[in-house]
Amino acid sequence: MYNVAITGTGVFTPSHIITNDELVAAFNAHADLYNAENEAEIAAGTVTAKPHSSSDFIVAASGIEQRYVLDKDGILDPARMFPKLAARPDDTPGFMAEIGVDAAQEALAAAGIDAADVDLVICAACNMERAYPAIAVEIQQLLGAGGFAFDMNVACSSATFGIQTASDMIRAGSIRRALVINPEICSAHLEWRDRDCHFIFGDVATATLLERDEDLTGPHFKVLSTRCATQFSNNIRNNNGYLRRTHDQMEDRRDMQFMQNGRKVFKEVLPLVSKHIADHLDDTGVPATDFARLWLHQANKTMNDYIGKKVLGRIPEPHEQPNILQDYANTSSAGSIIAFSQNSDDLAVGAKGLICSFGAGYSVGSVIVERA
């Protein structure tokens, strides 16, 4: 068995920013349009009027202040309310491949590794822009990587599940280097017309380079242990899929975008994640007091505050549990990797930390690392 290290990470951040105030202004204009169009039905009680959204609510409920997206104009058009991305011909890189390659090249440059020396590319994300061929194979070709590539989807936990999958292959010796890439175009499957969730997501791509921990000269993080768990739940769900046409369900339907029962998710996921981390620490013999940093999934500030306190047994200092959700919003599987990528260089050799993501499935993945 070989040891595994994270030797580089990369983050692609889109150039369009939507602030809460811009988002709320567009939503409220959309709600006014909707209410005017349905005036008679609303008066008759057959249609419910759409209430306005509020920036104050969004910050208080989630901690999110803005989000990055690939296309701002389509989302903020009150008559449209979703991004407009021109379809690409088959001989042009797809959107996920393009942003994934950008993040991957940053991760490779950080480690000083040539793409040709990578044996495995995993594209791990909560949605794929097409059924096949795998996005990962397209990324492999665009990068000039060797070996093989495949896609995997474990929703918000895709990155940590990808890290465990790649780490296991490196440990076993079947590969030497892997890129786990998370292109998350969440703006395309968020329902921007639904006040309860329109503020939640943003777009980003992250990449993590994992290598056999042998003769490494540059700074890196040893992967001490990984753990994944799942438990079925319908509380975060998107029914869009390839059987849609067979069901004669091609119409604009609410359940073909992201749906969640936020309160239930809150109540059920927190104990699941807290227990998962506690068991992982118990079984590996790493006491929580050893952790210099927690890089948690970036869905909700209150959730992270709760988990941080549960894990450390006290309220973590801001530098011990860095949040990036105020700037990026929830970027699904990429969130904990952005937090890790942007807040890990300062750790001293020997410092330990925990990357943890959780979400739909339900799913939870944790990675214990040590600075070297």
Q: Which residues bind ligand COA (CB under 6 A)?
A: 53-54, 57-58, 61-62, 156, 195-196, 200, 236, 260, 262-263, 265-266, 299-300, 303, 330, 359
**Closest distance between ligand COA and the C-beta of residue 293, in Å?**
21
- Of 130 and 237, CB closest to ligand COA: 237
In the complex with ligand COA, which residue's Cβ is closer, 97 or 236?
236
Residue placing its CB nearer to ligand COA in the complex, 300 or 343: 300
Which residues are part of the catalytic machinery? 156
Among residues 331, 16, 25, which one has the least CA distance to residue 200?
Answer: 331
Give min distance, CB of 119 to ligand COA, in A. 31
Minimum CB separation of residue 330 from ligand COA in Å reads 5
Tell me how far CA of residue 250 lies from CA of 74, 110, 325, in angstroms.
Answer: 21, 44, 33
Q: Which is nearer to ligand COA, 64 or 209 (CB)?
A: 64
CB of 324 to ligand COA, least distance (A): 15
